[in-house]
Structure 1
């Protein structure tokens, strides 16, 4: 009876061992491949692993060329499945997707940014500040540029040529690669005219007429037309025209002068001032004069001509250092009567 029980246990143990071994040899369940509805890539190839989840060993196989940088394309699901079957990828769950969209990443550079960088490059080439203004006319208007995302550098001007006489420019930029690869080159050509803001007359101004605020407007004009002395409103208003000036004409320093506060043959007030003393006399100007000018004035009372400094409208200051007219000639002192005579 004991032998029979031992035999039964031995058979049961062998059966359990065989069952355990059989269970260990069962392969693990493989995840089913699933088609993605949309794909984003950053290279020029689309891989099976981009299109299909759980692609397994086939994930690294390229099956399509990617669309152009910064663009999106679409593929019918049937064509995608056919391409997958060619590489023994079958049983893909499409989840009723009718097409797959494929987008390629990019780094976009706006056309306005390019124009600003061209202006900055021209300003530096001509020794101007970054805030200089150029009117640009490109041979081909700059469009938005789509670069590979690996081109991470800034727009760097590596070649700048500008003929200030003709206005022609030729600017080449480079955009560096993140791993030190070959940079992207972008070249732009056209005409550039530098402009400056300057004071311009809104109406005709006659010779010796004083310019008023309403006579002036600020406009941007070509630097070649204005010259080096562009004037602002504050430096023009209140000045006197040296000659007749026409409307629309940019004003230059040589066109203007300080206004005459004293006119030739005009009656003026002569002012003599010292600490504790303030004297005024009537006089007549012998010449025109602006503030700070030295003019000759006739003293009405003494009929003498003296010089003074124009200090206001119709006012001339006589300096304390003016030469004094001697009223009488001093006589030499007489020798004493008892002075010894030479023998």
Structure 2
């Protein structure tokens, strides 16, 4: 029994001695300077810049840099301040300065624009948020908030005037540390936009638009209306009027390109079951595919009507005779172009 008691006492002494030695080593650990520091508050404390600072760790010694920025503390200046607070024997590891960064939450302008567009979506005649363009009253690139403001942007006051597109919106962002949220107020204008085909150069009437003549831009819907043309429906089309560079195209401004021009020589085609005749003519009208134009038959000198069926090609319209009287049955066949070729089917 006595022997067991002595063994237990010895083990307890060894354990206590090891714990005391570890505590002594911890208390005697030399303070070490940190090379890079990130702080979240508006002050820099000794514990931020010095490892193993002990009871002095919570002492504030410098103001922190501005939100989202980085500053530097010269080592000699820092050691002087530390000695004033009885923190001595700091191992500098040959550092010349300590870099201090103030953490923050960054709100870029695009994120703010997106939030405003979401708030105004389908309000007072506006459409989807994706089509709302926001312009701030004052130039805004980004905002830096304390990193404790982790909440979502919540709109608390919304004012929008559809007559001039002006908005006045206040957001609140919750703070993880305090009960007081941050309030952010933004003013500016918001307009609904649509994608529009825009001319890169001035065009004349009847010009055919090439791919290089048209680009896509977002334009205010109120400016271009609902008749706006897209790029796919613009390239290869013919301008129906003179237009300037930078002008947004409307569907009414464009048409299919003319396959037959006025005063152009054309091929006349006369076709009925079993007969296919061609001749030469001169167009009196311009027209695109499917248009009815007047054409002079150059051999008979008669004016006939035909349908534009291809480039420089017109199919003669043959009126169907009325089979109501004997006279109608014995009437002469309608005029056709003088034959140049004939093929029986």
TM-score in same-fold range (> 0.5): yes
Alignment-derived partner of residue 140 in structure 2:
141
Alignment-derived partner of residue 93 in structure 1:
89
Distance in 1 separating the partners of 2:295 and 2:230: 35
Higher Rg of the two aligned structures:
1
Are the equivalent residues in 2 in contact too, given 1:77–1:100 (CA < 8 A)?
no
Are the equivalent residues in 2 in contact too, given 1:286–1:297 (CA < 8 A)?
yes
Deviation at 1:205, TM superposition (A): 0.9
Deviation at 1:114, TM superposition (A): 1.9
Q: How does 1:90-169 map to 2 (within 5 A)?
A: 92-95=88-91, 101=98, 103=100, 105-109=102-106, 113-115=108-110, 117-118=112-113, 121-122=116-117, 125=121, 126-128=126-128, 130=130, 132=131, 134=133, 136=135, 138-143=137-142, 145-153=143-151, 166=164, 168-169=166-167
Deviation at 1:118, TM superposition (A): 1.0
Q: How does 1:106-255 map to 2 (within 5 A)?
A: 106-109=103-106, 113-115=108-110, 117-118=112-113, 121-122=116-117, 125=121, 126-128=126-128, 130=130, 132=131, 134=133, 136=135, 138-143=137-142, 145-153=143-151, 166=164, 168-177=166-175, 182-191=180-189, 196-200=195-199, 202-206=201-205, 209-213=206-210, 216-218=213-215, 220=217, 222-223=219-220, 224-255=222-253
Distance in 1 separating the partners of 2:212 and 2:44: 68
SS in 2 for 1:261: coil
Distance in 1 separating the partners of 2:154 and 2:284: 65
Alignment-derived partner of residue 337 in structure 1:
none
Number of corresponding residues: 294
Q: How does 1:47-66 map to 2 (within 5 A)?
A: 49-50=47-48, 53-54=51-52, 56=54, 58=55, 61-64=58-61
Alignment-derived partner of residue 269 in structure 1:
268
Deviation at 1:139, TM superposition (A): 1.0
Are the equivalent residues in 2 in contact too, given 1:122–1:162 (CA < 8 A)?
no
Are the equivalent residues in 2 in contact too, given 1:106–1:147 (CA < 8 A)?
no
Matched, 1:32 2:28: yes
Q: TM-score, normalised by structure 2?
A: 0.59
Are the equivalent residues in 1 in contact too, given 2:280–2:297 (CA < 8 A)?
yes
Matched, 1:82 2:84: yes
Q: TM-score, normalised by structure 1?
A: 0.59
Deviation at 1:310, TM superposition (A): 2.7
Unaligned runs of 5+ in 2: 1-12, 329-345
Distance in 2 separating the partners of 1:273 and 1:116: 68
Distance in 1 separating the partners of 2:114 and 2:170: 12
Q: CA RMSD in A?
A: 5.0
Distance in 2 separating the partners of 1:236 and 1:116: 34
Unaligned runs of 5+ in 1: 1-19, 332-343
1:180/1:231 CA distance change after superposition, 3 Å: farther
**Deviation by residue 1:106-143 (Cα, 9 ceiling, x = unmatched):** 13426xx323541574387342463x584846514334
1:305/1:187 CA distance change after superposition, 3 Å: same
1:32/1:247 CA distance change after superposition, 3 Å: closer
**Deviation by residue 1:69-128 (Cα, 9 ceiling, x = unmatched):** 444464632333333x5xxxx7x4223689984735413426xx3235415743873424
Distance in 2 separating the partners of 1:102 and 1:247: 54
